[in-house]
């Protein structure tokens, strides 16, 4: 059911009285929103009942961090990106390097287009992983969907995933009613996701009715994993130990395409358009929604004065091995692509493959006490 | 609004018409082969109440006990005049299954009308929570005449402090789970303007949460006055922390004995307190202050939410009626170790909490003892129950000190049949 759908009632209050106090805020929404835009959009609503206040609530409630720029707004359905474009287009532009409302996004899930990626040194690269998200047409998104919709998404996902075969044959574990043994195994495999505690997510309404309709599916080989109804309808993850990113990406592309075929047969394809690519809940994940990365040992390079600059030039980002918002442990970093929108999946994974290969070579040079000044790359 | 909508909905007019005709799966298939999400109206038809009924099998709160699939089906598509829905009322109870030992309420009102529009849920919840009080048939007495209190001064060898609190809602404005920023700011304006009219021992000033200086903040913390952004999921899942700290603040009199919280869990929480055992004076100031605030808002055309069945209307059904919690911090080293302590409290209609308030444990031998009940008895009756009860507890403590035996008192009568 629509949340906060008393928009017509709110319209009787003045713009000034309703306009949020964003004076202490530092997120993309707060930088873009002004009274003019608020005035223009406050009376609107998507067909399913999502409003501007719904879009921005998470950004109002979470002023942000002085160093990390959060997005501060979410979509409640596919139409949000259209109805609230006066806010979301500039947010998208800020977040995605100047992406314009007229730009077109390229989708390329043809794994054969990736060059190399099967020879990252496993002495340094401990594991490789590619993840993305997918939203299912005809349903509203996690900030907005009702229990009925969420359950329908789960049901459809189970049907689609249970029909997979071969290397993709697997099993679904609903969060409701999971046994202790199953739970411990999923934790040990690093597969289990928990009820969101981050206020960025809870203030956007994404944890409602937990754990109803949520679950985890993975293949028997434990190399292909799907999260159902967490921050997006689906999060799809391909992973394995070692440095064979080529294989990880192949499995990612093949698995995704198989899943998409099945959803399409049920008249529920994935949300996608040629401007924004794959439509996801958070504007930061538009385009490919892809984060391809490795856990890599870079104890020397990571303390080098030019480490941050090298990452920036390679269009890569670092995180701790616990994922976003964690610190690195023992010189091991999670290195992944920074971009999502405006370049294809193949292009983004290629950046990771080439960039990590270069950084491992730099690490080896530093181990020998040699300089890496000649190896600093140009801005990609 | 019109121009962007025509672009969006022109291709779906037919689909929505078909859904409106109740064409079932055929319409569904057609709708879903169109480009986007269902309209809110179409969704109502496609998802019957049974598909939305929450999974409450692991739940232990008043809402989960009362909400049958039939009641849910009846109420799901209703809205209050402010467009508040059942799903919004129960969200906190769905998200917080509860504790096996403590039964939480699990639903909130978004406005005054919620208690009427969703009375098929709220009435059984109220009966359950308030020991058999039935708002459909019973009337709640309001009595703020503090002069009626007898024996209201406690032995200060035992009672360290005395306090009375309640809440008040401003009629015509939505409650904290539902209010927009404009409504919340209006509550703040109405109340702060009224409080500026208080004089004498009640004169004081307002500290807005967003604007206070660090010094002011520290002082309010030291005085135990400052309230913080709610962290309890019982409140956050009920949407009460939205837009924090916008339009939230604390007002207190210069003597620091009369305090008002604005826009926390209710529009206002009104607190009278002082060190020592003079509960009579605390209650007298409480009543006087409340009446003056009410008068001041009435001068400007506002009033408190109240009706003769539910008494004062507050966000949580547990606070209906008087919304009153009168309590003391009291030392009971011997009695608290006696096996009969809990039973004595029960029979006296009292509850114990730690000195940090609800959900805290007692430290040492000092307890927060207060009245259990809120609805069906007047303010004077409840404070008198507290006074008589605390005097009884102190008496027990003194007897145990002298090595004498104590008795468990007869239970105070309730409404349960």
Give domain status of residue A380, yes or no. no
Q: Are residues A191 and A156 in the same domain?
A: yes
B152 is in an annotated binding site: no
Q: Which two three-digit tokens encode residue A231?
A: 């921050």
Q: Are residues A163 and A275 in the same domain?
A: yes
- The confidence band for A322, taking pLDDT boundaries of 50, 70 and 90, is low
pLDDT the model gives residue A66: 66
Q: Over the stretch B65-103, which tens digit does the pLDDT of each residue have?
A: 999 999 999 999 999 999 999 999 999 999 999 976 679
Average pLDDT, chain A: 93
For an interface test with B, give the residue of A11, A81, A138 to mutate (most B CBs within 10 A).
Answer: A138
Name the nearest CA neighbour of A96 among A248, A321, A237, A284: A284
Give domain status of residue A103, yes or no. no
Residue B361 has pLDDT above 70, yes or no: no
Burial of B50 (0-12, 13-18, 19+ CB in 10 A): exposed
A66: containing domain: 5-96
Give domain status of residue A154, yes or no. yes
For residue B52, the chain A residues in CB contact (below 8 A) are: 1, 146-148
Give domain status of residue A148, yes or no. yes
CATH number where A269 lies = 3.30.590.10
- Between positions 239 and 268 of A, the ones with CB within 8 A of B are 267-268
- HEC letters along B195-236: HCCCCHHHCEEEEECCCCCHHHHHHHHHCCCCCCCCCCHHHH
Residue B32 has pLDDT above 80, yes or no: no
Q: Which of A17, A79, A151 sits opposite B185 (nearest CB)?
A: A17
Give domain status of residue A106, yes or no. no
- The confidence band for B358, taking pLDDT boundaries of 50, 70 and 90, is low
Q: Are residues A35 and A153 in the same domain?
A: no
Q: Structural domains in chain B? A: 49-130 (1.10.135.10), 146-402 (3.30.590.10)
Residue B27 has pLDDT above 90, yes or no: no
Among residues A65, A96, A127, which one ends one of the domains?
Answer: A96
CA–CA separation, A153 and B381 (whole Å): 54
Q: Are residues A290 and A326 in the same domain?
A: yes
Residues in Cβ contact with B76 at an 8 Å cutoff, skipping those fewer than 6 apart: A1, B49, B52, B85, B86, B87
Q: Are residues A34 and A65 in the same domain?
A: yes
Chain A contact for B172, CB < 8 A? no
Q: Are residues A88 and A126 in the same domain?
A: no
What 8-state DSSP symbol labels residue A277?
E
pLDDT the model gives residue A189: 85
Residue A321 has pLDDT above 90, yes or no: no
Residue B1 has pLDDT above 60, yes or no: no
Lowest mean pLDDT among B2-11, B196-205, B236-245, B356-365: B2-11
For residue B38, the chain A residues in CB contact (below 8 A) are: 47-48, 138
- The confidence band for B415, taking pLDDT boundaries of 50, 70 and 90, is low
- The confidence band for A173, taking pLDDT boundaries of 50, 70 and 90, is very high
Residue B417 has pLDDT above 90, yes or no: no
- The confidence band for B2, taking pLDDT boundaries of 50, 70 and 90, is very low
Residue A74 has pLDDT above 60, yes or no: yes
Among residues A49, A65, A96, which one ends one of the domains?
Answer: A96
Chain B contact for A195, CB < 8 A? no
Give domain status of residue A284, yes or no. yes
CB contact under 8 A, A1 and B52: yes
Q: Are residues A77 and A187 in the same domain?
A: no
Residue B286 has pLDDT above 60, yes or no: yes
Q: Over the stretch A270-292, which tens digit does the pLDDT of each residue have?
A: 999 999 999 999 999 999 999 99
Q: Are residues A202 and A72 in the same domain?
A: no
- The confidence band for B30, taking pLDDT boundaries of 50, 70 and 90, is very low
pLDDT the model gives residue B134: 96
CATH number where A59 lies = 1.10.135.10
Give domain status of residue A374, yes or no. no
CB-CB contact of A233 with A139 (8 Å): yes
CA–CA separation, A106 and A284 (whole Å): 16
- HEC letters along B288-347: HHHHHHHHHHHHCCCCECEECCCEECCCCHHHCECCCEEEEEEECCCHHHCCCHHHHHHH
Average pLDDT, chain B: 89
Q: Are residues A73 and A199 in the same domain?
A: no
> Closest Cα of chain A to B113: distance in Å?
14
Nearest CA in chain B to A176: B55
Lowest mean pLDDT among A327-341, B169-183, B252-266, B291-305: A327-341
Q: Are residues A82 and A129 in the same domain?
A: no
Q: Are residues A86 and A197 in the same domain?
A: no
Give domain status of residue A308, yes or no. yes
Q: Are residues A162 and A186 in the same domain?
A: yes
Share of chain A above pLDDT 90, in %: 86
Chain A contact for B94, CB < 8 A? yes
> Closest Cα of chain A to B121: distance in Å?
18
First to last CA, chain B: 57
Chain B contact for A140, CB < 8 A? yes
Residue A2 has pLDDT above 50, yes or no: no
- Following DSSP, what letter does each residue of A126-139 receive, concatenated? EEEEEEEEE-BTTS
Residue A89 has pLDDT above 80, yes or no: yes
Name the nearest CA neighbour of B128 among B166, B93, B83, B177: B93
- Following DSSP, what letter does each residue of A168-197 receive, concatenated? G-EEEEESTT--HHHHHHHHHTT-------
Chain A contact for B30, CB < 8 A? no
Nearest CA in chain A to B247: A21
- Between positions 74 and 133 of A, the ones with CB within 8 A of B are 77-79, 82-83
Provide the number of structural domains found in chain A: 2
Residue B298 has pLDDT above 80, yes or no: yes
- The confidence band for B160, taking pLDDT boundaries of 50, 70 and 90, is very high
| Position with higher pLDDT, B23 vs A142 | A142
Among residues A51, A70, A96, which one ends one of the domains?
Answer: A96
- Following DSSP, what letter does each residue of A196-240 receive, concatenated? ---HHHHTTTTTTTTTTT-EEEEETTSSEEEEESSSSSEEEEEEE
Mean pLDDT within B137-152: 97
| Cα atoms in the 13 Å half-sphere on the side-chain side of B326 | 31
pLDDT the model gives residue B20: 37
Q: Over the stretch A189-239, which tens digit does the pLDDT of each residue have?
A: 888 888 888 899 999 999 999 999 999 999 999 999 999 999 999 999 999
């Amino acid at each position: 059911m629509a949340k906060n759908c008393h928009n017509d009632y709110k319209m009787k209050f003045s713009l000034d009285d309703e306009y949020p106090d964003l004076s202490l805020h530092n997120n993309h929404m707060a930088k873009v929103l002004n009274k003019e835009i608020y005035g223009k959009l406050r009376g609107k609503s998507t067909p399913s009942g999502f409003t501007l206040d719904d879009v921005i609530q998470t950004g109002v409630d979470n002023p942000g961090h002085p160093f990390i720029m959060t997005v501060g707004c979410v979509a409640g359905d596919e139409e949000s990106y259209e109805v609230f474009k006066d806010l979301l287009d500039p947010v998208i532009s800020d977040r995605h390097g100047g992406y314009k409302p007229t730009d077109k996004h390229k989708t390329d899930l043809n794994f054969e287009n990736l060059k190399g990626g099967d020879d990252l040194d496993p002495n340094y690269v401990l594991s490789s992983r590619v993840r993305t998200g997918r939203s299912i047409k005809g349903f509203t998104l996690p900030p907005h969907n009702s229990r009925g919709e969420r359950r329908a998404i789960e049901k459809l996902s189970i049907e689609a995933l249970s029909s997979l075969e071969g290397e993709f044959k697997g099993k679904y574990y609903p969060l409701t009613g999971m046994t202790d043994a199953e739970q411990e195994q999923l934790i040990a495999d690093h597969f289990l996701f928990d009820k969101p505690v981050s206020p960025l997510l809870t203030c956007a309404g994404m944890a409602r009715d937990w754990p109803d309709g949520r679950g985890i599916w993975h293949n028997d080989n434990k190399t292909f994993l799907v999260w159902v109804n967490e921050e997006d309808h689906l999060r799809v993850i391909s992973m394995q130990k070692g440095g064979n990113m080529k294989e990880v990406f192949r499995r990612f592309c093949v698995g995704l395409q198989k899943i998409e075929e099945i959803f399409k047969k049920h008249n529920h394809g994935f949300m996608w358009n040629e401007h924004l690519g794959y439509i996801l809940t958070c504007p930061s994940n538009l385009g490919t929604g892809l984060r391809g990365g490795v856990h890599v040992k870079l104890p020397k390079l990571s303390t080098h004065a030019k480490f941050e600059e090298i990452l920036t030039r390679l269009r890569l980002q670092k995180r701790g091995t616990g994922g976003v918002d964690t610190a690195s442990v023992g010189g091991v970093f999670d290195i992944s692509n920074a971009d999502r929108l405006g370049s294809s999946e193949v292009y983004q994974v290629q950046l990771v493959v080439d960039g990590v290969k270069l950084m491992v070579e730099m690490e080896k040079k530093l181990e020998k006490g040699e300089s890496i000044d000649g190896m600093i790359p140009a801005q990609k | 609004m019109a121009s962007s909508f025509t672009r969006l909905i022109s291709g779906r007019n037919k689909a929505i018409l078909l859904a409106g005709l109740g064409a079932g799966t055929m319409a569904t298939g057609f709708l879903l082969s169109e480009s986007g999400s269902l309209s809110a109206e179409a969704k109502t038809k496609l998802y019957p109440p049974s598909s939305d009924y929450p999974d409450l099998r692991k739940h232990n709160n008043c809402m989960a006990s009362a909400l049958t699939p039939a009641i849910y089906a009846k109420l799901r598509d209703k809205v209050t005049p402010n467009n508040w829905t059942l799903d919004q009322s129960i969200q906190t109870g769905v998200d917080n299954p509860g504790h096996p030992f403590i039964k939480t309420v699990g639903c909130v009102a978004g406005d005054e009308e919620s208690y009427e529009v969703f009375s098929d849920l709220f009435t059984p919840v109220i009966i359950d929570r308030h020991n058999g009080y039935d708002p459909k048939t019973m009337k709640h007495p309001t009595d703020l005449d503090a002069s009626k209190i007898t024996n209201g001064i406690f032995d200060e060898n035992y009672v360290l402090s005395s306090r009375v609190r309640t809440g008040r809602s401003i009629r015509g404005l939505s409650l904290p789970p539902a209010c927009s920023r404009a409504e919340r700011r209006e509550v703040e304006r109405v109340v702060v303007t009224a409080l500026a009219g208080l004089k004498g021992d009640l004169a004081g000033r307002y500290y807005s949460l967003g604007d206070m200086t660090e010094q002011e903040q520290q002082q309010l913390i030291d005085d135990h006055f400052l309230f913080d952004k709610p962290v309890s999921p019982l409140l956050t899942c009920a949407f009460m922390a939205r837009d924090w700290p916008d339009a939230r603040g604390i007002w207190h009199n210069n003597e620091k004995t009369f305090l008002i919280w604005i826009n926390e869990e209710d529009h206002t929480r009104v607190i009278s307190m002082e060190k020592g055992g003079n509960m009579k004076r605390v209650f007298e100031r409480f009543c006087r202050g409340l009446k003056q605030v009410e008068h001041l808002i009435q001068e400007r055309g506002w009033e408190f939410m109240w009706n003769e069945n539910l008494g004062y209307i507050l966000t949580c059904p547990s606070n209906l009626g008087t919304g009153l919690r009168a309590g003391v911090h009291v030392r009971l080293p011997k009695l608290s170790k006696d096996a009969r302590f809990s039973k004595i409290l029960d029979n006296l209609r009292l509850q114990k909490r730690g000195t940090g308030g609800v959900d805290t444990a007692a430290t040492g031998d000092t307890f927060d003892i207060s009245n259990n009940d809120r609805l069906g008895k007047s303010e004077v009756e409840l404070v008198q129950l507290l006074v008589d009860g605390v005097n009884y507890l102190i008496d027990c403590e003194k007897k145990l000190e002298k090595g004498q035996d104590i008795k468990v008192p007869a239970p105070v009568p309730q409404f349960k049949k």
